[in-house]
Structure 1
């Protein structure tokens, strides 16, 4: 702590010795040049202009050569002598003279851009790997604003959103700055330490600005932007791009910079449009000016995205180029909202020979330091390299005042009074009564939404209640109380249950749960068919696929991450299980036909011997392990970074009492196995066996998620079979199941005229199941996902084909929805 205090005092003293060089950068016509680069010649110390072309550079007394650079414009280097007094310097840049290349036009002649691109592709790996490690300073600013808002949405007035919007519905909704130390070691080890952070309107908040997330280097084959975007100098780039040499620009150092236009071969391919600037003979990327359209990125609601990057040689070392600045702008919108935003990062003061200590890089890739958010506006005025715009200054000033109001009890009570009013619409959506100042709310689920039908209870309805209490503003310490009362009108039975769930902290996410009561539950605890779908199929076609038994139970559970990437979830449950019979024969199917289809019994047909009642004490232990799990650390909490690599599972379930068995299973799953521009695969494999099975009932078997309807749940396809009867393969012996899907993310369908305009994505899958004493079961699926319109691309349509070994193929459609 003492060292950190000394560091702050030293930093403050340094800033007092520095003077401010500021001004406006414009073109020859006086138009501002936004996000232009200003840096000290021969270094990566510098800044960029803001959207109004304004810049600020803090320098110690001395004489400097300051370079002013904007993509597509002539560089200008000015000698500046700084004292301790601030200095104004407005600079105008001319549009670069582009020297057109001379070449003979012949039939089928190749554009002269192609030899340059091939040379850059050949040199790509050299530049990608030439720096083994580095450290640098990173500044990131994010600004997201509403350019348009509707008056109402779903009958609710938008208003000013607590004062964030003006009378025209415009206003900044997110403004944040951060200053970090960024460290890197090949091949992919990052460590980023955020030492300062400021969020407009929240002096206790931390922005989601991370410099490492803005690394869209063209030297990497792909950039992750929701979809993998192919670099214009990737090894396979010539399959996706056409190129046109616009001409040559000569910079102040005499380097010839080749300006090359990027043209997609197919408009829906995952590629950039725009320009790339390549240094002749060195074949290094000097800068990039990329555009991504919605048709290429295929992210619902995202209209256009612009990426500008500037690369500089380090310390006059001509062949070592590093990223100096990245600016990302976007336009997005949905439901009458229109968003505009930008994120800008400046990477400066590189050290490419930092000599890191052993074990400096760990799985902790991002750390927010304690006290990072406690610096005032005056401190930031001496730190930020990009000047605030007038709107940003107003936003900080306004929200610094508003946050006091937003956190006050009178304000929160006034908002609650408005939101707590009961309306007819809440019969459909449910009703919530909040006391925001105390971080608590009480919820009643929609009573209309709980009305269901099954053949055991007939029509039945539930009253579902919940109470939520948070103890901190980051929602890391809380408890949840839930209660439910259910009544079956044909069965004439009440059932009630309740649970308590407590999370104690935000690092290991330690959780304790207690629950109990009486419920009618499915034999497969994964609930392969939902209440709503079963109700529809029962009432409209007299198929009662859901099979229930009565359970009176008491349960206690505990979960905790034991160490990074390894988590334990455990539970111990005592239950009295009892058989249930059908009590209702109602349906809307062939209502007056005496020969209509009969409901099946409320017992899975494969059960050899019916049961009446059994008591069981069941212990569950579930370990999950993700090797090398990357994570972010904030004060008092931890978040898992974007998941890469497989996750492993070890599960044990043991039954005692009237039953006596032990089940052990292992599994491995991968959610995102990238295959370049061809999309990604996902798979899940599980195997296990009952190592002891002296006695057990059918609900203790290993069950598999089947489906006998035409409706599916996309979120469960990686652990489900689309055409398998619900309990046909349930077993008390050894088993093995495997699931695989490949999501083409636009590949293939984007090459088909007309179809490519719809934004649909092809997905192929395969499923396999083997249990002891049963024939192998196979499924093949072909589907279209991302079906819908606008941002509502919730639907998927599959054709599935299944068969048992040696049997005939069964083919059927499945409609999936993801909410």
Structure 2
């Protein structure tokens, strides 16, 4: 220990020979610590943030600097300091900011001045988004997680993994970022450090963009802001020669995705000076502070602090995240940094300088902003809409995809985790607190303990590797590729039980060249296969598959002899069926034997359009239940269902073995969909318009049918009313001469899974119970009872209310409870105008949903039911 102390002392002394800067503690005039104060080095585009103890540190080369110290509610203090080879101790005491209230009279008839300020800030928000053409920056990111309470049932196991109450898990990263309009960002992670070796939660440079209207969270600068918020003017103060307006944000209905707090807007420029807000995220508390600084005539976020806290599944936790950005270079659009005057026609009347629609239409945006110095709010909004149209047109001419919202590449330096203490002392912008140092000491003690426990024998090392291999399913190989492994001996993973095959061992293997956060690749491929043995059925099955994705195209090939479910679109997980079969005498999974060869192709150049086609030839053979089905608990009233379930539109009994050639073509159109790409992985951002889907399926050889369907679905933000989701689909078998159960349209009533249409788009009280032949008072759930080979129409509508009954109580909203009303409709050859009407409470214990539902058919009341489910 003494040697380590000497080494650290020598290293520290050595770094002091060349590393200088300023450091100290920031407090107010009463001596109270001001945590997370923003520290900005003027004219150098650099700075930092104080830590939770008010301590700060800035590494600087020798020279003279002007430093701004900024904390919400306090006067910005500027200090001039000369730095040499050593650190300068500079303790700061900030004075409280005096907020001056303008002489305005606000009556019940007069509008609060905040509304004029916010209208101008909202109108100019698009300009602030377009001001920066490109920038290069470095960022320091520090995140920590503290579990204040661990559930008793998990405490012992987590303690064995060195996860304990009150001991923070700390993670730091240093990175370089390059950004270019409209959406390209490259991040290179240079250094990583964390409490536990090999685990990092600080690899992304993330700053909340309040100029973006928002989807899940509604920005106070969104065009829809006045539907969600009221604003109060609280006065102004001067900062660096500018007038800053203090505006209080008051949500009309506080809850998920709605902010409350304070926003500071700079007068005449109408940009954000700083913001301090909070909201609710599914019952969790999210607090956020951002500080902006002037860089090359624009104000950019420099520091951000985020706290997420709450209780979930018995855990009481706190997540803290801090981001400090330093801009090394920035290129601006001259047209968007021009000083212009905004005229709020609602309060300030019309002006002779206001432009006509004809002038706006015939002029270029950049020319208008340079030449015209006064705009009405409506004019400016119209100008920016036209500019965005021009952007899309230019992108189209360059053959760029204007619908890509973001295209981000994140790469981690191979040496990022091996950086020494000298490196971290030179780049750590925010000093560690005593608790954070304790976290690293704790992590180091664990590493030492692991080294001491490690057996020198190779066989012990191999044994531990196998233990790791058993419990994990994805492994990175030395060549950078990935191996996927599903062990056939793990219960409810590769080892399962069903009423047809009995005990089943399924070995799954895969080999691919990418992972979720892997660097970009020119093309992606994935080989996969399964070997499956049924012990009671005494049959061996297997399959192989290959996926290749390059650019907008994806090709899939599959071959094998394997089991298949009658409804592949509403897939039931095997482990779920194992549980219900063994413990509840319900075998929901219905399977048949399929020997097949298929080929699939998907093309998706534009996120608004997707084309997919698939062709398969298969020999399909029926399977029956075993003569003896084992259960752990017997329920006399349940009864196992037959493996070939009857449909009201098909004759009973097993289907005839057949050879089928099936072709499928599907086109999806989402007019306003956007795309976010991260390391080549696409994520679709739904727009405001509906999504339309057209499907055609053709069956040939031993089968003969033609199926057409058309679907529409949408999520609509209904402001104060909440959120509306709806889905409608209509379809018909225009030819159904020869058709089997697996080819029919299955009415989604799956009790175990709703992946096809989403949790909301399903029927709750559809009576699918079928009597067991030869048995009295015994019936079983048959989800295929209403499968159809004819014409059908189905619809699902649900509205999630911000305030309804229980959620009128603020505490219920803060807890994360949601209420909704839903309607389900179905018309098919066997069901005439079937309707369900229900009310649901969502988010009970953060995971449970309670529903009360009534159903009607042909206008006649059928039944009432209370349902429990998982949170939607």
Q: Fold-level match, TM-score > 0.5?
A: yes
- Rounded Cα–Cα distance in structure 1 between residues aligned with 2:692 and 2:228: 37
The 5 A counterparts of 1:436-451 are 440=485, 442-446=487-491
Give the structure 2 partner of residue 722 of structure 1.
764
1:117–1:51 Cα change, 3 Å:
same
Is the partner of 1:704 in helix, strand or coil? coil
Q: CA offset at residue 149 of structure 1?
A: 6.3
- Rounded Cα–Cα distance in structure 2 between residues aligned with 1:723 and 1:577: 32
- Rounded Cα–Cα distance in structure 2 between residues aligned with 1:632 and 1:811: 46
Give the structure 1 partner of residue 744 of structure 2.
701
Give the structure 1 partner of residue 853 of structure 2.
799
Give the structure 1 partner of residue 322 of structure 2.
343
- Rounded Cα–Cα distance in structure 2 between residues aligned with 1:47 and 1:788: 41
Please point out which of 617, 623, 630 is paired with 2:675: 630
1:350–1:266 Cα change, 3 Å:
same
Uncovered stretches (5+) of structure 2, i.e. residues with no partner: 1-17, 336-390, 478-482, 519-524, 769-782
- Rounded Cα–Cα distance in structure 2 between residues aligned with 1:94 and 1:691: 78
- Rounded Cα–Cα distance in structure 1 between residues aligned with 2:811 and 2:51: 41
Give the structure 2 partner of residue 48 of structure 1.
49
- Rounded Cα–Cα distance in structure 1 between residues aligned with 2:224 and 2:600: 50
Give the structure 2 partner of residue 660 of structure 1.
704
Q: CA offset at residue 142 of structure 1?
A: 3.5
Give the structure 1 partner of residue 37 of structure 2.
36
Uncovered stretches (5+) of structure 1, i.e. residues with no partner: 1-17, 423-430
1:310–1:512 Cα change, 3 Å:
same
Q: CA offset at residue 619 of structure 1?
A: 3.0
CA contact (8 A) 1:447 1:461 kept: no
- Rounded Cα–Cα distance in structure 1 between residues aligned with 2:204 and 2:578: 46
Which range moved further: 326-335 or 277-286? 277-286
- Rounded Cα–Cα distance in structure 1 between residues aligned with 2:268 and 2:83: 37
Is the partner of 1:228 in helix, strand or coil? coil
Is the partner of 2:764 in helix, strand or coil? coil
1:599–1:581 Cα change, 3 Å:
closer
- Rounded Cα–Cα distance in structure 2 between residues aligned with 1:447 and 1:323: 48
Please point out which of 242, 245, 263 is paired with 1:276: 263
1:415–1:268 Cα change, 3 Å:
farther
- Rounded Cα–Cα distance in structure 2 between residues aligned with 1:501 and 1:51: 53
Please point out which of 113, 116, 119 is paired with 1:116: 113
1:386–1:767 Cα change, 3 Å:
same
CA contact (8 A) 2:744 2:789 kept: yes
Q: Is the aligned partner of 1:214 residue 2:202?
A: no
1:509–1:461 Cα change, 3 Å:
same
Deviations 1:373-426, CA, capped at 9 Å, x for gaps: 5565666766665456677689789789969x99x998999698579789xxxx
Q: Is the aligned partner of 1:136 residue 2:117?
A: no
Give the structure 2 partner of residue 761 of structure 1.
818
Q: CA offset at residue 143 of structure 1?
A: 1.0
Give the structure 2 partner of residue 788 of structure 1.
844
Q: CA offset at residue 353 of structure 1?
A: 0.9
What is the number of equivalent residue pairs in this alignment? 741
CA contact (8 A) 1:464 1:482 kept: no
Give the structure 1 partner of residue 78 of structure 2.
77
1:600–1:696 Cα change, 3 Å:
closer
Give the structure 2 partner of residue 466 of structure 1.
507
The 5 A counterparts of 1:221-236 are 223=214, 227-229=216-218, 231=220
Give the structure 2 partner of residue 331 of structure 1.
309
Q: CA offset at residue 681 of structure 1?
A: 3.2
Q: Is the aligned partner of 1:291 residue 2:291?
A: no
Give the structure 2 partner of residue 310 of structure 1.
291
- Rounded Cα–Cα distance in structure 1 between residues aligned with 2:37 and 2:74: 10
- Rounded Cα–Cα distance in structure 1 between residues aligned with 2:461 and 2:316: 22
Please point out which of 226, 229, 239 is paired with 1:251: 239
- Rounded Cα–Cα distance in structure 1 between residues aligned with 2:288 and 2:636: 58
TM-score by length of 2: 0.68
CA contact (8 A) 2:595 2:619 kept: yes
CA contact (8 A) 1:684 1:718 kept: no
Q: Is the aligned partner of 1:198 residue 2:191?
A: yes
CA contact (8 A) 1:705 1:721 kept: yes
Give the structure 1 partner of residue 593 of structure 2.
551
1:656–1:354 Cα change, 3 Å:
farther
The 5 A counterparts of 1:55-94 are 55-57=56-58, 63-81=64-82, 85=85, 88=88, 90-94=90-94
Deviations 1:400-454, CA, capped at 9 Å, x for gaps: 9969x99x998999698579789xxxxxxxx85889787556243537995666x
Is the partner of 2:72 in helix, strand or coil? coil
Q: Is the aligned partner of 1:177 residue 2:174?
A: yes
1:205–1:652 Cα change, 3 Å:
farther
1:484–1:339 Cα change, 3 Å:
farther
- Rounded Cα–Cα distance in structure 1 between residues aligned with 2:737 and 2:457: 63
Q: CA offset at residue 308 of structure 1?
A: 1.0
- Rounded Cα–Cα distance in structure 1 between residues aligned with 2:445 and 2:476: 19
Please point out which of 600, 605, 612 is paired with 2:648: 605
CA contact (8 A) 1:479 1:501 kept: yes
Is the partner of 2:118 in helix, strand or coil? helix
1:650–1:435 Cα change, 3 Å:
closer
CA contact (8 A) 1:495 1:518 kept: no
Q: CA offset at residue 192 of structure 1?
A: 1.8
TM-score by length of 1: 0.72
Which range moved further: 73-82 or 605-614? 605-614
1:442–1:774 Cα change, 3 Å:
closer
> What is the Cα-based RMSD across aligned positions, in Å?
5.4
Q: CA offset at residue 238 of structure 1?
A: 8.3
